[in-house]
Structure 1
């Protein structure tokens, strides 16, 4: 609430008191039967899709995948991603064909049989012991390791029909190669944990294997490994992989120097030394370099509540501190019903700025609210979804910018009227990089509420992206969401376009696939079988 005018603080405190008063009795984790339905707090919008509309939209999203994949295979493969404007490939993710591995889970869910078989053949032939590019342990884990482990879980589980098809033995061998390749990749990367603290090096050359313990890592960089490396241990029966990830994670569960590294309970600084695990700063938030650390705390509890109960407790600390210290209500009358979450600095002052990257937070709170049967997190999550929705709805392109702010003292003069009308302003970076986070939160909001308004918002986003980002051979980032046409096309089809954006969109509208069969999204009272990694790869829970 720092930096808010008195009137806005009063509005915010009223909301917080309402939340607390509504949920004081929800302290036990075993009160699912007594928790009022979400509609008691968020009445249904009354919007319902017409018969056949959901399938029409799912088919349109499937077509976007096929269009993107065809362009990648024609011009981008075997490199990591397609550069659709220049009709060539680019390597930004180790050069092992990131779009293939990032894309396979979505192709499985869409039941694109020929594409899946093509992707499996490619994955089976990758040599993970050879790489001429600098490797990011974080990105390689969430995209490559997460993608392969997820595809293995899907193809040996609800999509085992692929193995049982006419090419049974051949396909069986290809599916099994996913696990073998996951082990090969982890074995190639695991030496990076051999630092004095056990916190891994964030970037390295595979050929050098040179440990630099004087380096630093950020909390997302080593706090977003434990799901993938633990799942690999559970699938193989070899504990070394989860042991490596959990040893590093301990420095975040119990901070060595909390006077610097934990400015609010559960909310941490950003950078940590590799030689002793101590924090170097006190700034951070739910945006870049911190985001997925907080995300994985509750997701590890979803994966195995017995082993990872401490992670859940740590998430509750971070969530409660976020609600208490970082919540911000925009000052305009139009925006007074929205909530945003600020970023914090060394002095414990909160900066009223946010990012598209951090807009997953609404969905993460909703997941936490469902797992813990705690309505205050559901209410808060839905309000955050509304805030991020505004950054899409208020722009001429219909897409939100990379950065935005809502500090009335920092509004650029050219945006005064825009801010007065909407309660936020463009924060300097006005591009759209095919990011999924807002749509990800729509997905969770729809799963929790089953209110089709979130499907409408997701469809509006897809239509806007299809209109501004589509090219002859795929989709690309755009330079300026403040223009109706999105500005310049920036010539990069990110691999997470396959993994996240198209997957979340498809699952929102696909009523006959795995969402209905296996309940990828958590549905209160009916259990959960899957949890998404931060790249939206569904992992079967333990």
Structure 2
């Protein structure tokens, strides 16, 4: 039985050294397809191992602490890992996991936050709302055989409405741009606090999908109204602005003005740009203006020094940050989603140049994995375009010269972005090198981060064994990291990003949860 196998796997993991977590390369099979199938099965087994640890020691709390076999509640105590894991469990057809989560979600009381902690509108939308909506689409669609009753999806959809209805007060600002940090008990927020570009700009896909699903236009209207301020930006200081299509980061809730001109394709800004093209994928008729805004942002980035090549590795390309029209040569793991996002844009627009640019970014992010001792890319890095850094440490200088960048944050927080872009690159090209790169990265993650009853973030990817464990298993590992590592190998999965020349039937939110596009409903 599967449960018995999971128990055995957990016991083995708890008593083994890190080296025993190295996944073997499938061998002695006649076709590449068979190797990919075996790899997909190995990823599924790792997912189920991590789920079993969470279910045993943490469920229904938010996260597992795998070293201490304890739990934490950083997402308001509503079971973030369970909700985030559901869409991946469905794609993997992991029936026991699916049944447990489907039974659990209708019992969540979204009116009460654990310890009255502030509720993040952004995180709650992409994780909880996104995870529930995706499950409804999948279970009403190609995976309906995994649920025994339509009542299951009705109950899930009702919970999505319950959650969004509770969150709606966030939009009660003078502009309609929502506040992010919400006091659920008092249904209040601090109007003097600015909101972020990614916060305000990464709600529209989920809330529009909810409106379409339950035939209530109010949810979509709230987010699309707020998005208009981002599509037509104004600045508190009108004399300094970023390049066309690019934005600052912080927005005044009272005026809608951007308060700064600094931004990037990385955290705090990233999913605003991501959702511009994904809304066009969702509905290319009604969201053409979103696509146009995305193209303008990509053009400004690709035709400027933001599209930057390290001095010692001109073959690499990283997306730099900006302050106004000045470039800052820093980037990180979060920005590595952009390769896949540009590839997606190239696929839906039939633009090979965009696909090529996205491949360049994806290949370069994969090189950050190749550069480290563990085979996992770091959280953040910097580089130079004209000369090398001059350090007192000869070893650091050698690393920079060989790899083109200097690590500024060596941690790894179980992030999915490189695996995500490798998946998009494979779907666009069919080149099996991307399957190999993804498998290599996942093997490194499994060897380095698997510990105790699950997977933990680590402190230093360029140190033996990843430095030390932070004893925290992110919920998004279930939603994204496992999912993209699985899908790139699982050709027979029923939901995929469509290949070149095919119509996109699904679009993935920024947490990796797939939604049916409007034309398929």
Determine helix, strand or coil for the equivalent of 2:466: coil
Is this contact kept in 2: 1:261–1:280, CA < 8 A?
no
Match of 1:425 in 2: 406
Deviations for 1:209-247, whole angstroms, at most 9, x for unmatched residues? Answer: 124322200100110000000000001110000000011
Match of 1:486 in 2: 466
Q: Tell me by how many angstroms 1:59 deviates.
A: 0.7
Cα distance, 1:507–1:260 mapped onto 2, change above 3 Å: farther
**Structure 1: gaps (5+ residues):** 1-47
Deviations for 1:482-501, whole angstroms, at most 9, x for unmatched residues? Answer: 11311101100000000000
Q: How does 1:143-154 map to 2 (within 5 A)?
A: 143-154=127-138
Match of 2:298 in 1: 319
Corresponding pairs, count: 481
Cα distance, 1:271–1:308 mapped onto 2, change above 3 Å: same
Match of 2:18 in 1: none
1:359 counterpart = 2:340: no
Q: Tell me by how many angstroms 1:256 deviates.
A: 2.2
Cα distance, 1:266–1:483 mapped onto 2, change above 3 Å: same
Matches of 2:362 and 2:271, distance apart in 1:
17
Matches of 1:253 and 1:420, distance apart in 2:
40
Is this contact kept in 2: 1:80–1:89, CA < 8 A?
yes
Q: Tell me by how many angstroms 1:259 deviates.
A: 3.3
Is this contact kept in 1: 2:196–2:251, CA < 8 A?
yes
Deviations for 1:396-450, whole angstroms, at most 9, x for unmatched residues? Answer: 11000000111246564431111111111112x1100000000101000000000
1:267 counterpart = 2:246: yes
Q: Tell me by how many angstroms 1:262 deviates.
A: 4.2
Match of 2:287 in 1: 308
Q: How does 1:500-519 map to 2 (within 5 A)?
A: 500-515=480-495
1:255 counterpart = 2:239: no
Is this contact kept in 2: 1:194–1:211, CA < 8 A?
no
Match of 1:138 in 2: 122
Match of 2:153 in 1: 175
Match of 2:352 in 1: 375
Deviations for 1:21-73, whole angstroms, at most 9, x for unmatched residues? Answer: xxxxxxxxxxxxxxxxxxxxxxxxxxx96351111101100001110000001
**Structure 2: gaps (5+ residues):** 1-29
| TM-score normalized with structure 2 length | 0.90
Determine helix, strand or coil for the equivalent of 1:514: coil
| TM-score normalized with structure 1 length | 0.87
Matches of 1:338 and 1:430, distance apart in 2:
19
Matches of 1:399 and 1:261, distance apart in 2:
38
Is this contact kept in 2: 1:270–1:283, CA < 8 A?
yes
Is this contact kept in 1: 2:311–2:388, CA < 8 A?
no
Matches of 2:427 and 2:240, distance apart in 1:
35
Matches of 1:367 and 1:148, distance apart in 2:
24
Q: Report the more deviating stretch, 278-287 or 127-136.
A: 127-136
Match of 2:449 in 1: 469
Match of 1:395 in 2: 372
Cα distance, 1:261–1:101 mapped onto 2, change above 3 Å: farther
Is this contact kept in 2: 1:255–1:262, CA < 8 A?
no
Determine helix, strand or coil for the equivalent of 1:128: coil
Determine helix, strand or coil for the equivalent of 2:335: helix
Match of 1:521 in 2: 497
Q: RMSD of the TM alignment (CA)?
A: 1.4
Determine helix, strand or coil for the equivalent of 2:238: helix
1:94 counterpart = 2:76: yes
1:106 counterpart = 2:75: no
Is this contact kept in 2: 1:328–1:342, CA < 8 A?
yes
Match of 1:460 in 2: 440
Match of 1:45 in 2: none
Matches of 1:239 and 1:121, distance apart in 2:
28
Is this contact kept in 2: 1:433–1:477, CA < 8 A?
yes
Match of 1:57 in 2: 39
Q: Tell me by how many angstroms 1:172 deviates.
A: 2.4
Deviations for 1:254-290, whole angstroms, at most 9, x for unmatched residues? Answer: 0123836841101000000000100110001101100
Is this contact kept in 1: 2:183–2:189, CA < 8 A?
no
Q: Give the counterpart of 1:338 among 304, 310, 316.
A: 316
Is this contact kept in 2: 1:397–1:481, CA < 8 A?
yes
Q: How does 1:68-83 map to 2 (within 5 A)?
A: 68-83=50-65
Matches of 1:154 and 1:266, distance apart in 2:
34
Determine helix, strand or coil for the equivalent of 1:52: helix
Is this contact kept in 2: 1:54–1:509, CA < 8 A?
yes
Matches of 2:455 and 2:390, distance apart in 1:
32
